[in-house]
Amino acid sequence: MTAGGRTRINVCFHGIGTPARSLEPGEAPYWVAHDVFLEILDVLAEEPQVHISFDDGNASDVQLGLPALVERDLRATFFVLAGRLDRPGSLSDADVKSLATAGMAIGTHGMDHRPWRGLDPGGRRRELEHARRVLADVVGRPVDEAALPLGRYDRELLDRLRRLRYTAVHTSDRRWAQEGDWLQPRFSVRDGDTADSVRSGMLRRQHLGRRAERSLVGTVKRWR
Protein backbone atom coordinates (compact mmCIF):
# COMPACT_ATOMS: atom_id res chain seq x y z
CA MET A 1 0.00 0.00 0.00
CA THR A 2 1.17 3.53 -0.65
CA ALA A 3 0.73 6.34 1.83
CA GLY A 4 0.95 9.32 -0.47
CA GLY A 5 0.99 7.90 -3.97
CA ARG A 6 3.56 10.42 -5.24
CA THR A 7 6.49 9.22 -7.30
CA ARG A 8 9.83 9.09 -5.53
CA ILE A 9 13.17 8.37 -7.19
CA ASN A 10 15.84 7.14 -4.78
CA VAL A 11 19.41 7.56 -5.96
CA CYS A 12 22.26 6.07 -3.94
CA PHE A 13 25.98 6.87 -3.92
CA HIS A 14 28.68 4.80 -2.27
CA GLY A 15 32.21 6.20 -2.58
CA ILE A 16 33.46 9.43 -4.16
CA GLY A 17 36.93 10.08 -5.52
CA THR A 18 39.86 7.90 -4.49
CA PRO A 19 39.21 5.29 -1.78
CA ALA A 20 41.23 5.77 1.40
CA ARG A 21 40.91 2.13 2.44
CA SER A 22 41.20 -1.30 0.89
CA LEU A 23 37.99 -2.15 -0.92
CA GLU A 24 36.08 -5.38 -0.55
CA PRO A 25 35.56 -7.54 -3.66
CA GLY A 26 32.89 -5.95 -5.83
CA GLU A 27 33.05 -2.49 -4.24
CA ALA A 28 35.20 -0.69 -6.82
CA PRO A 29 32.46 -0.29 -9.47
CA TYR A 30 30.43 1.78 -6.99
CA TRP A 31 33.03 4.52 -6.61
CA VAL A 32 32.62 7.56 -8.85
CA ALA A 33 35.06 10.34 -9.70
CA HIS A 34 34.57 13.57 -7.77
CA ASP A 35 33.84 15.67 -10.86
CA VAL A 36 31.31 13.13 -12.12
CA PHE A 37 29.63 13.09 -8.71
CA LEU A 38 29.24 16.88 -8.82
CA GLU A 39 27.78 16.77 -12.33
CA ILE A 40 25.28 14.08 -11.33
CA LEU A 41 24.37 15.97 -8.17
CA ASP A 42 23.58 19.06 -10.23
CA VAL A 43 21.15 16.97 -12.30
CA LEU A 44 19.53 15.48 -9.20
CA ALA A 45 19.14 18.91 -7.65
CA GLU A 46 16.77 19.85 -10.47
CA GLU A 47 14.34 17.03 -9.64
CA PRO A 48 12.19 17.52 -6.52
CA GLN A 49 11.06 13.88 -6.47
CA VAL A 50 14.65 12.65 -6.04
CA HIS A 51 15.82 11.45 -2.64
CA ILE A 52 19.58 10.99 -2.25
CA SER A 53 21.35 8.48 -0.04
CA PHE A 54 24.87 7.27 0.66
CA ASP A 55 25.80 3.73 1.73
CA ASP A 56 28.75 2.21 3.61
CA GLY A 57 29.95 5.19 5.67
CA ASN A 58 33.01 6.10 3.61
CA ALA A 59 35.08 9.11 4.65
CA SER A 60 34.27 10.70 1.29
CA ASP A 61 30.69 11.12 2.55
CA VAL A 62 31.73 13.94 4.84
CA GLN A 63 34.82 15.13 2.97
CA LEU A 64 33.24 15.46 -0.50
CA GLY A 65 29.57 14.59 -0.27
CA LEU A 66 28.51 16.87 2.57
CA PRO A 67 30.00 20.13 1.22
CA ALA A 68 28.43 19.52 -2.19
CA LEU A 69 25.03 18.85 -0.64
CA VAL A 70 25.18 21.94 1.57
CA GLU A 71 26.26 24.11 -1.36
CA ARG A 72 23.15 23.01 -3.27
CA ASP A 73 20.84 23.12 -0.24
CA LEU A 74 20.17 19.38 -0.57
CA ARG A 75 19.49 16.78 2.09
CA ALA A 76 20.41 13.10 2.05
CA THR A 77 20.25 9.98 4.19
CA PHE A 78 23.55 8.36 5.13
CA PHE A 79 23.34 4.62 5.77
CA VAL A 80 26.38 3.95 7.92
CA LEU A 81 28.21 0.71 8.67
CA ALA A 82 28.61 0.86 12.43
CA GLY A 83 31.44 -1.68 12.40
CA ARG A 84 33.63 0.62 10.29
CA LEU A 85 33.30 3.70 12.50
CA ASP A 86 36.65 5.34 13.27
CA ARG A 87 38.54 3.08 10.89
CA PRO A 88 40.87 4.67 8.29
CA GLY A 89 38.95 5.67 5.18
CA SER A 90 35.58 5.45 6.94
CA LEU A 91 33.48 7.88 8.92
CA SER A 92 34.34 8.61 12.53
CA ASP A 93 31.83 9.16 15.32
CA ALA A 94 32.50 12.88 14.97
CA ASP A 95 31.86 12.73 11.22
CA VAL A 96 28.47 11.09 11.75
CA LYS A 97 27.59 13.77 14.30
CA SER A 98 28.63 16.43 11.77
CA LEU A 99 26.33 14.92 9.16
CA ALA A 100 23.41 14.90 11.59
CA THR A 101 24.13 18.46 12.75
CA ALA A 102 24.07 19.58 9.11
CA GLY A 103 20.52 18.26 8.78
CA MET A 104 21.30 14.93 7.17
CA ALA A 105 19.42 11.79 8.19
CA ILE A 106 21.34 8.81 9.57
CA GLY A 107 20.28 5.23 8.87
CA THR A 108 21.86 1.85 9.47
CA HIS A 109 23.60 -0.41 6.96
CA GLY A 110 24.46 -2.94 9.68
CA MET A 111 27.82 -3.72 11.22
CA ASP A 112 29.97 -5.71 8.80
CA HIS A 113 28.61 -5.22 5.25
CA ARG A 114 27.26 -8.74 5.06
CA PRO A 115 23.89 -9.83 3.65
CA TRP A 116 21.13 -9.92 6.27
CA ARG A 117 19.25 -12.74 4.59
CA GLY A 118 19.72 -16.06 6.38
CA LEU A 119 21.57 -14.73 9.44
CA ASP A 120 21.74 -16.87 12.58
CA PRO A 121 20.29 -15.38 15.81
CA GLY A 122 23.60 -13.86 16.89
CA GLY A 123 24.16 -12.33 13.48
CA ARG A 124 20.65 -10.87 13.46
CA ARG A 125 21.20 -9.21 16.83
CA ARG A 126 24.52 -7.79 15.71
CA GLU A 127 23.39 -6.53 12.30
CA LEU A 128 19.78 -5.50 12.88
CA GLU A 129 19.81 -4.37 16.51
CA HIS A 130 23.28 -3.66 17.86
CA ALA A 131 24.45 -1.62 14.85
CA ARG A 132 21.31 0.48 15.10
CA ARG A 133 21.93 1.19 18.80
CA VAL A 134 25.55 2.15 18.15
CA LEU A 135 24.50 4.76 15.60
CA ALA A 136 21.65 6.02 17.77
CA ASP A 137 24.12 6.56 20.61
CA VAL A 138 26.39 8.53 18.27
CA VAL A 139 23.70 10.91 16.99
CA GLY A 140 21.63 11.02 20.17
CA ARG A 141 18.35 10.09 18.52
CA PRO A 142 16.62 6.95 17.21
CA VAL A 143 17.82 5.36 13.97
CA ASP A 144 14.76 3.95 12.26
CA GLU A 145 15.70 3.48 8.58
CA ALA A 146 17.83 0.71 7.11
CA ALA A 147 19.51 0.01 3.78
CA LEU A 148 19.93 -3.67 2.91
CA PRO A 149 23.58 -4.66 2.40
CA LEU A 150 24.14 -5.93 -1.15
CA GLY A 151 20.41 -5.45 -1.76
CA ARG A 152 19.50 -8.97 -0.61
CA TYR A 153 16.25 -9.74 1.19
CA ASP A 154 13.39 -12.18 1.53
CA ARG A 155 10.02 -12.35 3.28
CA GLU A 156 11.45 -13.57 6.59
CA LEU A 157 13.94 -10.70 6.79
CA LEU A 158 11.34 -8.08 5.91
CA ASP A 159 8.96 -9.47 8.54
CA ARG A 160 11.73 -9.27 11.14
CA LEU A 161 12.57 -5.67 10.22
CA ARG A 162 8.90 -4.75 10.58
CA ARG A 163 8.80 -6.34 14.03
CA LEU A 164 11.87 -4.29 14.96
CA ARG A 165 9.87 -1.18 14.01
CA TYR A 166 12.04 0.10 11.21
CA THR A 167 10.05 2.87 9.55
CA ALA A 168 11.54 2.37 6.07
CA VAL A 169 13.79 -0.21 4.41
CA HIS A 170 15.79 0.68 1.28
CA THR A 171 16.71 -1.85 -1.40
CA SER A 172 18.77 -1.86 -4.62
CA ASP A 173 15.95 -2.82 -6.97
CA ARG A 174 16.53 -0.05 -9.56
CA ARG A 175 13.00 1.21 -10.07
CA TRP A 176 10.90 4.17 -9.04
CA ALA A 177 9.28 4.18 -5.62
CA GLN A 178 6.18 5.69 -4.07
CA GLU A 179 6.42 8.32 -1.36
CA GLY A 180 5.47 6.81 1.99
CA ASP A 181 5.99 3.15 1.07
CA TRP A 182 7.79 1.11 3.71
CA LEU A 183 9.99 -0.66 1.14
CA GLN A 184 11.94 1.84 -0.97
CA PRO A 185 13.75 0.66 -4.15
CA ARG A 186 16.81 2.66 -5.17
CA PHE A 187 19.14 3.20 -8.11
CA SER A 188 22.85 2.91 -7.27
CA VAL A 189 25.25 5.18 -9.14
CA ARG A 190 28.17 3.24 -10.62
CA ASP A 191 31.56 4.21 -12.01
CA GLY A 192 30.34 4.18 -15.61
CA ASP A 193 27.46 6.57 -14.94
CA THR A 194 27.36 10.16 -16.16
CA ALA A 195 24.90 13.00 -15.81
CA ASP A 196 23.33 11.89 -19.09
CA SER A 197 23.02 8.22 -18.09
CA VAL A 198 21.38 9.23 -14.81
CA ARG A 199 18.88 11.39 -16.69
CA SER A 200 18.01 8.62 -19.15
CA GLY A 201 18.32 5.55 -16.93
CA MET A 202 17.05 6.76 -13.56
CA LEU A 203 15.08 9.99 -13.94
CA ARG A 204 13.21 9.08 -17.12
CA ARG A 205 10.26 6.77 -16.58
CA GLN A 206 11.08 3.21 -17.65
CA HIS A 207 9.01 1.63 -20.40
CA LEU A 208 6.19 -0.64 -19.31
CA GLY A 209 8.05 -3.90 -19.95
CA ARG A 210 11.03 -2.82 -17.89
CA ARG A 211 8.82 -1.61 -15.05
CA ALA A 212 7.01 -4.94 -15.00
CA GLU A 213 10.33 -6.82 -14.97
CA ARG A 214 11.72 -4.83 -12.05
CA SER A 215 8.46 -5.10 -10.13
CA LEU A 216 8.47 -8.88 -10.61
CA VAL A 217 12.03 -9.08 -9.25
CA GLY A 218 10.95 -7.29 -6.09
CA THR A 219 7.87 -9.48 -5.71
CA VAL A 220 9.94 -12.67 -5.98
CA LYS A 221 12.36 -11.41 -3.32
CA ARG A 222 9.53 -10.42 -0.97
CA TRP A 223 7.79 -13.78 -1.16
CA ARG A 224 10.61 -16.31 -1.40
Residue 181 near residue 190, CB atoms below 8 Å: no
Cα separation, 33 vs 40, in Å, equals 11
Q: What is the DSSP letter of 204?
A: S
* Among the listed residues 81, 216, 92, 63, the one whose alpha carbon sits nearest the alpha carbon of residue 143: 81
On the question of pLDDT at 223 being above 60, the answer is no
Domains of the chain: 7-223 (3.20.20.370)
Cα separation, 56 vs 149, in Å, equals 9
Q: Give the residue with greater pLDDT, 208 vs 88.
A: 88
**Out of 51-60, 99-108, 203-212, which region has the weakest mean confidence (pLDDT)?**
203-212
What is the phi/psi pair of residue 57, to 5°?
A: 70, 40
On the question of pLDDT at 222 being above 70, the answer is no
For the stretch 93-121, pLDDT in tens is: 999 999 999 999 999 999 999 999 999 99
Average pLDDT, the chain: 92
**Out of 150-154, 186-190, 217-221, which region has the weakest mean confidence (pLDDT)?**
217-221
For the stretch 154-193, pLDDT in tens is: 999 999 999 999 999 999 999 999 999 999 999 999 999 9
Strand partners, 9: 50
Binning pLDDT at 50, 70 and 90, where does residue 27 land?
very high
* Among the listed residues 36, 34, 65, 71, the one whose alpha carbon sits nearest the alpha carbon of residue 52: 65
Q: What is the pLDDT of residue 2?
A: 38
Which residues are within 8 A (CB) of 81 and not within 5 positions of it... i.e. 6 or more apart? 56, 57, 90, 109, 110, 111, 112, 113, 131
| Mean pLDDT on 45-74 | 98
Cα separation, 160 vs 33, in Å, equals 37
Q: What is the pLDDT of residue 205?
A: 82
3-state helix vs strand vs coil in the chain, percent to 5: 40, 20, 40
* Among the listed residues 129, 168, 170, the one whose alpha carbon sits nearest the alpha carbon of residue 152: 170
Which spans in 102-145 are helix H? 121-124, 131-139
On the question of pLDDT at 212 being above 90, the answer is no
On the question of pLDDT at 5 being above 90, the answer is no
Q: Residue 169, Cα to own-chain centre: how many angstroms?
A: 9
Other C-beta atoms closer than 10 Å to the C-beta of 218 total 16
What is the phi/psi pair of residue 142, to 5°?
A: -60, 150
